[in-house]
Structure 1
Amino acid sequence: MSDWVILWEWAEFAIRWLHVITAVAWIGSSFYFIALDLGLNRNIDGPADGEEWQVHGGGFYHVQKYLVAPEAMPAHLTWFKWESYSTWLSGAALLMVVYWAGAELYLIDYTKIDWPVWQAIAVSAASLAVGWVLYDLLCKSPLGDRPTALMLVLFGILVAMSWGYHQVFTGRAAMLHLGAFTATIMTANVFFIIMPNQRIVVADLKAGRKPDPKYGKIAKLRSTHNNYLTLPVIFLMLSNHYPLSFATPHAWIIAALVFLMGVTIRHFFNTMHMKKGMPWWTWAVTVVLFIIVAWLSSAPMFDTYEESEARALSPVEARFAAAGGFDEAHDIVLGRCSMCHAREPVWDGIASAPKGVLLETRADIAGQARAIYVQAGISHAMPPGNITFISPEERAAITHWYRQVN
């Protein structure tokens, strides 16, 4: 079973790597086309809506945009869709591997709701689907003709979802799910709206009919939404590495402010690409919002030591706490790890427990059994540089304890 854990860790790494690669491809193409569209020279004669000359990699490129479609169907037409699909599919796989398969550790917070794993997973999956349905209905309502009002309503939904996720899941899972909620909307925009609309235009063109420009207008609205949602999604996907963002009572507010920062940053670049100047005030607003986020993160992040000792152990914690060798492993972790992984770290230069991992109480240590096994048992990742001088015998004791259950 321990070999399975190693394979599982590598599978998670591979999927995460794939997710990053596909996300880079999607975000890169998305940002490029938004910048291209906003920066087109439209003071030209002819059927094209605009054109742009660009130089890159030693060559010159002449790009033209047609508002609906060119007069004749091009022999070669490149569709930009798989970047989006691959990013969502790899992200969904990562969600399943980390948060569904590891629900007892990473998804469920038993101090909030003590529910079966299958129920937590069902809520996780359903919330992503519900988000798209609600968003799509709003876009197809009269609000669709009022982009600013629509964005404000969408922001309100995101704030409500941020609060809701933090009421039922761990802080780490809540931030991740808010990112997945948003990313699902973005990919569904591509799959259900943008691509079908483009296919209608192409079909009309092949049949000799004049395409209806409304399809391009609808697709552009959804693409614009994706443009403004991208940066917050990246922040939320990275947040699980930074406990100051998720391990605080105000994490749901922090997530909401991140969406505002995404708007201010993208507004700067979009305005610049439109050649309407550089609104530097957006960076000032971004800095202020970031300072507020940092201030919110300074609130008490964890339950007290006494509260943690008093609460009942979760099922996974109970299994590892009852395993043979736990007492020895417990003492090793306290002596080698808890000076950093504490509610109030005593190691100079560390303000909060790395990745929000606490290793002070029996429940803490039992609940982090797999991470301890991987990081300090079969590998030498922890402590960093073996700065607390954990011995080979102590690593063997940790490994022995974990394998009593697995």
Structure 2
Amino acid sequence: MWGSIVSEWLGLIFRWLHVVAAIGWIGSSFYFIHLDLSLKPSADLPEGVQGEAWQVHGGGFYRIVKYLVAPAKLPDDLTWFKWEAYTTWLSGFALMVVVYYLDAELFLVDKSVLDLTPLQAGLFSFVSLLVAWLLYEAACRSGLAQHELPFAIGGYLFLVLLTYAFTHVLSGRGAFNQIGALIGTIMVANVFLTIIPNQKKIVAALLRGETPDPRLGKAGKERSVHNNYLTLPVLVLMISNHYPLLFATRLNWLIVAIVLALGPIIRHFFNERHAGRASPWWVWGVAALGMIAIGLLSAAGPRGGQAGALSTAPTYAAAEEIILSRCSMCHAAEPVWEGITTAPKGIRLDDAEHIHRNARLIGRNAAWASAMPPGNVTEMTAEERAVIAAWVETEVR
């Protein structure tokens, strides 16, 4: 029991820290991208200044200038924006260990997808994070990233192919988390290995009385732009585990492909507005079509069969037998599954009253998607999911 309690509390603490740190990182990132794009030239600016921006907030006015490379003299106080990024990744990886690695049997493995042991799944997850990041880093250092459009298209296809691979190795929930963790790893590595080191080299050059190499700032800016366009997709992927019709359906990898395309397109709209250029309103038409496509794909049903394929609607008794045998060991007043002390989310499925009350949730998680049982640990079959789907259809009319 104590192991389950400690795991639950660690999950809460790391999730809380992860969300707070991510808010700080994303907020500062979005702010500086907006600031950079909104700078305007002025006749009275100091030498080496690219532009200025006037802003108002909290009852005060701010005049902000940006040096193209660096000021001639370094100020005594200099604020570094880095710990938000580092804390986001460290807390996120800790959360991944607590939730996905220590409970891999439930959240990372799905034996109907691939029969892995928890150790094999964890190793695959960790190694694939490392290898995929190394490939991205090699592509950037080779100079490919300087060709923005081809690099963006290639990077998009790279992430889609990885998603397809992840959904055929890990559970749907695990695959979505994996591609989100991979993008987050790329983003924080950009900060840790390129953006901050290059800024430190610029500062060191100034302290030595030398002129900093402008290529350092350009390389840091390049990685910052990558992070800017990756932010919105990674946010969707990080919260996707709450939405079974996204991660636990047959065409889940296509849903990720659309999300990976929509995020940068939406960022493009705001970046263009911040830069004072014509607003690309077409973006919202594309976004709407993308969301409609996601909705249609989410109705494709679970992997291994089409829900609702029975010719006649089964009785409640048939559905109850499946639910009691596949779900009630966890969703009960006194769960019998090892490590679970209370019914997840307070949902009980151990008697007729609670089964009828939660019919919609049952359909959403176990019939139209395969989110439950997690990792399909009780080996619910496609035929059983079809029985539940047909019963739910009659129940909720």
TM-score with structure 1 setting the length: 0.79
Separation (CA, whole Å) in 1 of partners of 2:362 and 2:34: 40
Aligned position for 2:261: 260
- Asked whether 1:164 is paired with 2:181, we answer no
User: Please, which of 328, 335, 350 is the counterpart of residue 352 of structure 2?
Assistant: 335
Aligned position for 1:85: 86
Question: Could you report, residue by residue, the CA deviation over 1:213-232 in whole angstroms, capped at 9, with x for unpaired residues?
Answer: 11111111100000000000
Which letter does structure 2 place at the counterpart of 1:144? A
Structure 1 residues 116, 364: closer, same or farther in 2, change over 3 A?
A: closer
Contact 1:98/1:106 (CA < 8 Å) preserved in 2?
Answer: yes
Contact 1:171/1:251 (CA < 8 Å) preserved in 2?
Answer: yes
Structure 1 residues 177, 332: closer, same or farther in 2, change over 3 A?
A: closer
How far does residue 66 in structure 1 lie from its aligned partner after superposition? 0.4
Aligned position for 2:228: 227
Question: Could you report, residue by residue, the CA deviation over 1:124-172 in whole angstroms, capped at 9, with x for unpaired residues?
Answer: 1111111211001111223122011111111011001100110111101
Structure 1 residues 332, 202: closer, same or farther in 2, change over 3 A?
A: closer
Q: Which runs of 5+ in 1 are unaligned?
A: 323-330, 366-406
Contact 2:245/2:298 (CA < 8 Å) preserved in 1?
Answer: yes
- Asked which structure has the greater RCO (Cα within 8 Å, sep 6+), the reply is 2
Aligned position for 1:11: 10
Separation (CA, whole Å) in 2 of partners of 1:269 and 1:362: 44
Structure 1 residues 332, 338: closer, same or farther in 2, change over 3 A?
A: closer
Structure 1 residues 362, 69: closer, same or farther in 2, change over 3 A?
A: closer
How far does residue 116 in structure 1 lie from its aligned partner after superposition? 2.2
Aligned position for 1:357: 372
Structure 1 residues 332, 30: closer, same or farther in 2, change over 3 A?
A: closer
Contact 2:38/2:276 (CA < 8 Å) preserved in 1?
Answer: yes
Q: Identify the range of structure 1 (114-123 vs 34-43) with the bigger mean alpha-carbon deviation.
A: 114-123
Matches within 5 A, 1:100-111: 100-111=101-112
Contact 1:99/1:173 (CA < 8 Å) preserved in 2?
Answer: yes
What secondary structure does 2:350 align onto?
helix
Separation (CA, whole Å) in 2 of partners of 1:33 and 1:175: 29
Contact 1:338/1:358 (CA < 8 Å) preserved in 2?
Answer: no
How far does residue 335 in structure 1 lie from its aligned partner after superposition? 2.9
Matches within 5 A, 1:49-64: 49-64=50-65
Which letter does structure 2 place at the counterpart of 1:89? L
How far does residue 303 in structure 1 lie from its aligned partner after superposition? 4.9
Separation (CA, whole Å) in 2 of partners of 1:270 and 1:300: 37
How far does residue 112 in structure 1 lie from its aligned partner after superposition? 2.0
Q: Which runs of 5+ in 2 are unaligned?
A: 308-317, 331-335, 339-347, 381-397
Structure 1 residues 151, 94: closer, same or farther in 2, change over 3 A?
A: same
Aligned position for 1:124: 125
How far does residue 351 in structure 1 lie from its aligned partner after superposition? 5.7
Matches within 5 A, 1:381-400: none
Structure 1 residues 340, 129: closer, same or farther in 2, change over 3 A?
A: farther
Contact 1:340/1:353 (CA < 8 Å) preserved in 2?
Answer: no
Structure 1 residues 33, 260: closer, same or farther in 2, change over 3 A?
A: same
Question: Could you report, residue by residue, the CA deviation over 1:163-216 in whole angstroms, capped at 9, with x for unpaired residues?
Answer: 011011110110011000000000000000101111111111110111111111
What secondary structure does 1:333 align onto?
coil
Separation (CA, whole Å) in 2 of partners of 1:337 and 1:87: 39
Separation (CA, whole Å) in 2 of partners of 1:35 and 1:362: 47
How far does residue 14 in structure 1 lie from its aligned partner after superposition? 1.3
Question: Could you report, residue by residue, the CA deviation over 1:284-341 in whole angstroms, capped at 9, with x for unpaired residues?
Answer: 11111111111111101255699xx8xxx9xx99xx689xxxxxxxx96253554476
Which letter does structure 2 place at the counterpart of 1:264? I
Aligned position for 1:46: 46
Contact 2:163/2:179 (CA < 8 Å) preserved in 1?
Answer: yes
Separation (CA, whole Å) in 2 of partners of 1:264 and 1:340: 41
What secondary structure does 2:277 align onto?
coil
Aligned position for 1:33: 32
Matches within 5 A, 1:157-196: 157-196=158-197
The alignment yields a C-alpha RMSD, in angstroms, of: 2.9
Structure 1 residues 156, 297: closer, same or farther in 2, change over 3 A?
A: same
Contact 1:249/1:300 (CA < 8 Å) preserved in 2?
Answer: yes
Separation (CA, whole Å) in 2 of partners of 1:164 and 1:362: 21
Aligned position for 2:150: 149
How far does residue 353 in structure 1 lie from its aligned partner after superposition? 2.4
Separation (CA, whole Å) in 2 of partners of 1:171 and 1:6: 26
Separation (CA, whole Å) in 1 of partners of 2:258 and 2:162: 13
- Asked whether 1:112 is paired with 2:127, we answer no
How far does residue 264 in structure 1 lie from its aligned partner after superposition? 1.2
Matches within 5 A, 1:291-330: 291-301=292-302, 303=304
Matches within 5 A, 1:361-372: 363=378
Structure 1 residues 54, 65: closer, same or farther in 2, change over 3 A?
A: same
How far does residue 247 in structure 1 lie from its aligned partner after superposition? 0.8
